[in-house]
Structure formats: structure tokens, C-alpha cells
Amino acid sequence: MLILIILIYAIDADSKFHGKAIDVILGSDYILYTTSKNVSEFLVVLTRSKDKDIKIDAAEALEILESLFAEIQSGVGCGRIFEP
């Protein structure tokens, strides 16, 4: 299961855990899934953060999430990275 922190690190190119999160997502031999709770928390982290470098609007957060899931399904990589 993809937990929230892996999703966050996967889009945060500045994180020291970014590469490992990508490896977990793209290097998995398992079918990956997440919960609606993780998805909603992901959106909250991106849209309601007190850190102005992270906070983005809801439309962009949804776009990032959709892009991330599309890339996970295709196995291509996480090209739509959130960069503050």
C-alpha cells in the first residue's frame, strides 16, 4: 500500500527521500494501491500547509495527484514533480 509519506516524497524533488520513494513506487513487483484516506490527506497536505513553499491551490494539487497516478500505472516515472 502506498502510504501518504511515500506519495509526498515522490513529488518533492527537494526531499532526500525523493529517489527512494520513486524506487518504491516504480521498482515494486507488487500491485500498488492506496486508500481514499491517503488521497484526501495528500490533498490536504498540499493545499492547507502552513509552509508557503508547499501550499498550492486545489486544482493544481488534483493535477499533480492525477499525473502521479497515471505515471505509476504506466511505470514511466514521476515527471510531474512539485517543486516549490
Q: Give the per-residue pLDDT at 54.
A: 64
Give residue limits of the domains in the chain: 4-74
Residues with Cβ within 8 Å of 55's Cβ and at least 6 positions away in sequence, in order, are 46, 47, 48, 49
pTM (predicted TM-score) = 0.69
Q: How far is CA 60 from the centre of its chain?
A: 12
**Cell numbers at 28, concatenated:** 515494486
80 — alpha (psi -120 to 50), left (phi > 0) or beta?
beta
Q: What is the pLDDT along the chain (84 residues), one digit of tens a residue?
A: 678 888 888 888 888 998 998 888 888 777 777 888 888 888 888 888 776 666 688 888 888 888 877 877 765 544 444 443
